[in-house]
Amino acid sequence: MLMAGSCVLDKIDSQPATDPRLDCDALESYTIQANKPQDISFRVSSTTPWSITGFESASWLTVEPASSAVSSLSEDIRIKATANPNLEDRKVTLTIKGENTNISYSINLTQLRKGKLTVTPIADAFAKDGNSQTFKVESNLDWAVSAADDWLSFSPASGTGDGTMKATNVTATAKANGSLNRSTVVTVTSGDEKFEFTANQKGQSLDFGEVESTELDRTGQEVIIDVDATMDWAVSCDNADFIVTKEGNDKVKVVAPWNNKFAPRSATVTIKPTSNSYGDVSSSITFTQDVNFTMSGHCEVLADGSVKIYGDDASRVKLIDSYRYASIIIKMGDKGFADNAQMWLYANDAVESVEIEIMNQIQLGKRVRVRLNGDLPNSGLSTYDSVDYDMTKDELNKMDEYRVDILPSENSTSGVGHLKFSFSYNGTLRSSVLDKPSIFEDVPEAACHYWFGCYTASNDGTWYVVKSCDVVPVEE
């Protein structure tokens, strides 16, 4: 910023035209900033040689040009100053004088002292009901403090400086906060110096605590999440497969069941105030859960997480984990079973040297059967045990659920283990049971891999959609 006195253009019109002339459009005084000092420029017009003096000992100042040995010349003069590293102002007076004339000009230059600003900011949050805290401002220049938001005020909000460092305790006062936690930026300025810090105030709170992991086990998991809340709130979830409940006013329980879809899934859990007085305030956490199946052959995972299985290939959907006893419930979607359609649910040995085979085989035009093969010691199994039953293509295309139960002896009403396949369509239930001793009873290390699909290609255009597959392990 330039500060000036009156403009002096000393033209001596009373002198004869032949007398030397010296004109200058400079101001009588200039003030230069300490940091990033601005250049000063003015013009000298003369009919006689001239020179500028008075700055020779001021190493922080340059004048270009400082003289002219040629008469009848108009020159643009530029004065440059370096930044002032001192805590005091520095001054110099320039004199412009021409030869053979008494005309001269004086220019007073003042460069402001370097500003020094030290602020000890507020560290603690203000209380929810409002309170005051003190912080320190030290400066050698005039200073001022302000906040970006009007809930915080200061006393004093400004101070004066005389070049010496002076410390001032500033009291910051926060209004009561009836909303959520809030913050504002406090700015202290002094000359070219600026210091900013953030002031925080406690308020109503609604937030989740730390969560160890948002990746949930694909076979099912329960998570308890802490909630920091000073208001009444409700919880919701965007995925109906997840069970989410509020536990008191400080916890949320998230139950992710066994992932029965054929693609990874996610669920976003959100907490919101029950009152609208807090505005659009919420907090959310998104959980993910991986898939329990692998696929081979011609299988297509659809956008809703279901799987479409085609009968033009040996297409299979296989459980990642192996099981001994389990109930497997398959929910059917759209179907297109053709005349030579086939559908299998199959289990075979998952442990080396232990041979067992469980199969439900649907081959239209041939037979529908439940079959159990194996050679386990003391199992009572023959090489080939089966139950055959009839099922039409129309019944197959109306099927909405397909289930198999492989149970140990103690779960059977007949006192022996059983293998049961069930089909339901239009409210009608069809089932077949193969009652035999528990297939794993004498072989504790035995387990089975389970899969469903088309074992061999029928190539008749058959396809079907499975919406979900639940597996419920059965304890022995």
State the pLDDT at residue 5. 36
Q: Do residues 65 and 114 lie in contact, with contact meaning Cβ atoms separated by under 8 Å? A: no
Do domains 117-201 and 206-289 share one topology? The answer is yes
Tell me which CATH code domain 293-473 carries. 2.60.120.200
Q: pLDDT tens across 74-123, in order?
A: 889 999 999 998 878 899 999 999 998 999 999 999 998 888 899 999 99
Where residue 8 falls among pLDDT bands split at 50, 70, 90? very low
pLDDT tens for 175-190 read 999 888 889 999 999 9
pLDDT at 323: 87
Q: Is the pLDDT of residue 411 over 70?
A: no
Pick the closest to residue 425 from 380, 464, 385, 392 (CA basis): 392
Q: How many CB atoms lie within 10 A of CB 284?
A: 12
Percent of the chain with pLDDT over 90: 53
**pLDDT category of residue 124 using cuts at 50, 70 and 90:** very high
CA distance linking residue 250 with residue 207, whole number of Å: 10
pLDDT at residue 281, rounded to an integer: 83
Domain ranges of the chain: 22-111, 117-201, 206-289, 293-473
Q: Which residue did the predictor score with more confidence, 411 or 35?
A: 35
Which residues, other chains included, contact 34 with Cβ-Cβ below 8 Å and sequence gap of 6+? 83, 84, 111, 112, 113, 114, 115, 191, 192
Report the C-alpha dihedral over residues 455, 418, 348, 395, rounded to 10 degrees: 10
305-340 tens-digit pLDDT:
999 999 888 899 999 998 888 899 999 999 998 887
**Rounded distance between C-alpha atoms, residue 138 and residue 169, angstroms:** 9
Say what the alpha-carbon torsion angle 172, 173, 178, 183 is, to the nearest 10 degrees. -10
Convert the pLDDT of each residue in 415-452 to its tens digit.
Answer: 666 778 788 888 888 887 777 766 676 677 777 888 88
Architecture of the 22-111 domain: Sandwich (2.60)
Strand 233-237: give its sheet, edge to edge. 215-216, 283-289, 265-273, 233-237
Q: How confident is the model at residue 247 (pLDDT cuts 50, 70, 90)?
A: very high
In the β-sheet with 166-174, what is the strand arrangement from edge to edge? 117-120, 132-139, 166-174, 152-155
Beta strand 283-289 with 215-216 is parallel
**pLDDT reported for residue 198:** 96
117-201: which CATH topology? Immunoglobulin-like (2.60.40)
Question: What is the structure's pLDDT at 442?
Answer: 67
Q: Write down the mean pLDDT value for the chain.
A: 86
Distance CA(317)–CA(358), nearest Å, equals 16
Q: State whether the Cα torsion 428-434-438-440 is positive or negative.
A: negative
CATH match for 206-289 among 3.40.1390.10, 3.40.50.2000, 1.20.950.20, 2.60.40.10: 2.60.40.10
